[in-house]
Structure 1
Amino acid sequence: MFMICNFFANNSDFCDAEFRNVKTSLSARQSYGDDAIGYVQLRRDSDLCTIKCRVCPEHKVRSKSYSATMIVDEKGGKIVSVECHDCAASTGGCKHSVAFLMWVHRRSEEPSSTDIQCYWKKSKLSQVGTNIKCITTKDLSTVKTQQATQTTLRDDLLSKFLQEATHRGVTNLFLEENIKIIEEHTVGQHKSRLWHELRYGRVTASKAYEVSKCLTSDGSLVAVIMGAKTPDTKAMKRGRVLESKVRVTVEKKLGKKVKFPGWYT
C-alpha cells in the first residue's frame, strides 16, 4: 500500500483538484476492477516488471476494451508508471489506470496456491451480450464481503508500517518550522487546496474510534479516510454562515481578538 500512496503523491496526473480523491476511490473499487480487467500478461526484464491488460469500459461494455500498461521496479519497491493508452482522458490519469493499479494490488495480496489462476481471458463485464445474456448487480462481483478481524488487521498493519519505515529510514518531519509554514498557508481551511491535500489519508481521534468499532475491511469509513466527499448538510451550511458572526460575538464577550487558524498539527 505504501507503493500506491507514494505513486499517487508523486504523480501529477493523479493530484489534480478535479479528482479530490473521490473519483480515485470509485475507480479503485473491487466491484468494478475485478470484473473489468482481462487478458493480463506479464514480463520481467531485470528489475522491471511490465504488466499489460485490457480494461472494459464501465458503461459501453460492448465497445473495444482499453489497453493499459503498468511498470513496477521490483527491486526498488516502486511503481514507475501506470498508463491507459486508448481512452480520451488517458493523459490526465484516467479511471482505467486506477482500476488496473488497484487490481494488481489486490492480486499481490492473494495467498499463493497450488493452482495457478488464469488472467489471460476475457473480462466478465465485456461478456455481456455475447457469452452471457445479461449481468445483474448480484452477479457483478463474486467476492463475498468478509468481516475483518480487528486484532489481526491492526497487528498486520503495524508490522508492515514498522518494517517499511525501517527500510526507508523514515525520520520525523513534524518540525516546528514546517508546522508554522503549513498553518500560514492553510488559513482559508476548506477554501485552501493545500488544506484538502494535507487532510488526505489523515486519521483523527474520532476516525480511530470508528476504526476500532468497524467490522468491514472496505466500507464507507475507508472511503471517508481516503478523501471521499461527505454530504453537505443544512447544519454544515448553517455553521459556515454563522461562523464569522459567532467569532465577532466571542471577541466582544472576551475582549480579545480571535485568530482565524490554519491547519495545525
Structure 2
Amino acid sequence: MGRIGERVMGIIEVSGTGILSLKDSDCDNLIGAEIIFINNESTHSEVSAVPTTSASTVMINGNNISEEQNYTLSINLFISMAASSSTDFVQAQSDNLPHVDIFMVMQYIASSDCYTAAEIKGIKALHSMRAKYINAAVGYVQPERCGDLCKIVAQICPEHKIRSKNYGVHMEVDEKEEEVRYVTCQDCPASGGGCKHALALLMWVHEKSTQPATTEIECYWKKPKLTEIGNKRKFINTSDFGREAHFNVPGASTFMSQFMDAVKEAVPKPQVQLLKYYDEANNLTKLSLHHLFINFGKNQSTADFLMYASTNMLASVCQHTERATIEQQKSQLWYEIRYGRITASKLYAAAHCQKSEGVLVEQILGACKFKLTQAMKRGQILEKEVLKELEQSIKKKIQKVGLLVTGDHPELGASPDGLCEDTVIEIKCPSAAKTFKNYLTKDKQIVAKYKAQIQLQMLLFKRKNGIFCVADPNFEQTRQVTIVQTTLDEMYINDLITKAKLFWKNCIYPILLSSVK
C-alpha cells in the first residue's frame, strides 16, 4: 500500500462515526484517505476520513450511514512517497518549491530522449502544459531536499478517467546546477515515451516557483480540482425551481442587440468578431444584390426581381448607405454594394456590349482582379489636391460622397468624386499628354464614355449640373485644371440606361440568380 491512490476493498459495519482497521504495514506513512461507501442498493454516499494516531486506523465520519448495514468500501489512501526511503518529504507550499525557470524547462524538453517525436514537441506538449489543465490536475505535491537535489512527488488526475486512481509523478531538480534531471510518470502506460502528466508537473512547478511572492503562504497539499468534477450535486429537483424569475432578462429578439450596444458603449473601438454581424454596415448590406437575391423567390422573372428590389430599397436606407461608403475603395461596404451592379463608369460599355462573357461581366461581378498602376495611384493622390484647386476656382465648398443606389434603378449605382449644391463633380488625372485626349476632345467636349458617367451621376443624385475636371499631366508643377461644365440630358441618359439594363438582364441577372440556388 505504498503507492499514491492505492485502492482496497472491505466489508465493515458502522454507524455514525467509526474506526476502519487497516491490516497493512505500509500504513505507517498514511497521510489521508477518501472513503466512498457503496451500499447494497448501489447508492453513493460520500463521507470524510482522516488518519488517527494509530498507524493502522482511519477515523470515519459518516453521519448519514444507517445502523447495522453492510457496506462495500472504496478507499483511496494517500500514502506518503517517502514510505520506501526516508521521511523527509513535506507538504508543498509556495515557499519550499525549487526554482524552475522557463530556460530549465526548455533545456529539459530539448535534451530528453522522451520528447523527440514531432507531435510530442508540438501541439500535444502545449496542450499538456496549458495553465488551465495543470492547475486543475496536479495535487498532493511533496518536495524532499537532499543536498543540492530536490525531489518532488505529486498526484495527477487523468482527465480521461477522473474516477480512476490518480497517477504518481516523480521529478528531480538540481538546484545548484539549475537543471531538471528527470520527470517521470509512474502509472501512465505512455510514460516510457514521455507522457503528458510528466509535462504537466514540470510546468506546474515552473509556474508556481516563478510566481511573485505573496503575503500568505499557499499550501499545495490538496486534492486535484479535476477529481471533484461530478462529485457534487448530481441532479436538481423541479421543486427547487422558483415559480417566478428572480430577475428580468431581455427577450430573445432583443438580447443580442442590447448586448452589442453595451459592448460599444463600454469600449470605444472594440475588436470583437461578433460585432461584425451586428454593426451598422452589416445592416446596410441588405441593399446588396446578393442579399436581395437570397430573399427573393427563385425561378421568377427579371421584372419580378426588380420590382421586389425597388420595394425593399428604401430611400432613407439608400442615403444612409451613401454616407457609409464615403471612403469608397477603402470601404468594404462599397465593394459589397457595387457587386452585380452597373456603375456609372461602366454604363457606356454596358450599353454597347453584347457579350455574355468577357472582362466587363467579370468587372461587374468583381471577379476581375487587377493591380493598381502608377497612373492610378497618382490619380488617387492628386484627387484631393485637384478638389482644392476647384474649390478656389468656383468659390464653393465641395462635399465628399459615397456610392448611391436607388429603388428607381436597383441594378445601377454611381459614386462621383464630389457634390456641390446642385452640381456633381467628376475628376480625372491623366499622367501623360497623350492620354489627355481620352477624356476631352480637341474642342473640350467630354468623350462619350465619361459623358455617360457624369450623366448617370447627375440622374441618380438628382442634380441638374455637372463639372468634369481634367488635371494637367504636370499638375504637380502647373496646378492647372481644365473645367468643363455640363447639364443633365435626360433623353440621352435614359436611352443609355435602357440599353445597359438589357445587357444586365441577359448577362448579369442569370449569373446572380444561379449563385444563390
TM-score normalized by the length of structure 1: 0.49
- Greater strand proportion: 2
Which of structures 1 and 2 has the larger relative contact order (alpha carbons within 8 angstroms, sep 6+)?
1
TM-score normalized by the length of structure 2: 0.25
